[in-house]
Structure 1
Amino acid sequence: MRLLWTFIWSFLLMQMMSYIISSMTGSTYDFGQATIMSVVVTVLIFIISAILPNEPAGQHH
């Protein structure tokens, strides 16, 4: 379920970002490219979350 929601949010945000950036630069909006970018972002999010530790940092003086 976590994978599904992560993909849905990254899909929506990447589509929005791709549309806005293509509109600002005057180029054409490409749905396929934005979808591929959302899959890549989803994979990167899960890789980063697997690398980061879950335990607290401990005492810092």
Structure 2
Amino acid sequence: MKYVWGFVWVFLLIHMLTYVAGSMLAVPYNFATGSTLGIGAFILLVVVTAVLPSPTIEKH
């Protein structure tokens, strides 16, 4: 379930970023570009979290 919500948030935030950056550069909004970047960012996020070691919690 965490991957589903992670994908939804990454997808929405990347689309927002694409829209705002395109507006600042006077470029028309393209849904396909935002979707491609969103999927790529989600894959990168999953790979990075899989590679990073989990923190160890010491019990006293």
TM-score under structure 2 length normalisation: 0.88
Query: Number of residue pairs matched?
Result: 58
For normalisation by structure 1, the TM-score amounts to 0.86
> What is the alpha-carbon distance in structure 1 between the residues aligned to residue 5 and residue 16 of structure 2?
17
Q: How far is 1:3 from its partner?
A: 1.2
Root-mean-square deviation (CA, aligned residues, Å) is: 1.5
2:29 is aligned to 29
| Unmatched runs of 5 consecutive residues or more in structure 1 | none
Q: Which sections of structure 2, spanning at least 5 residues, go unmatched?
A: none
Identity, in percent, stands at 30
Runs of 4 or more, structure 1, over 2 Å off, are none
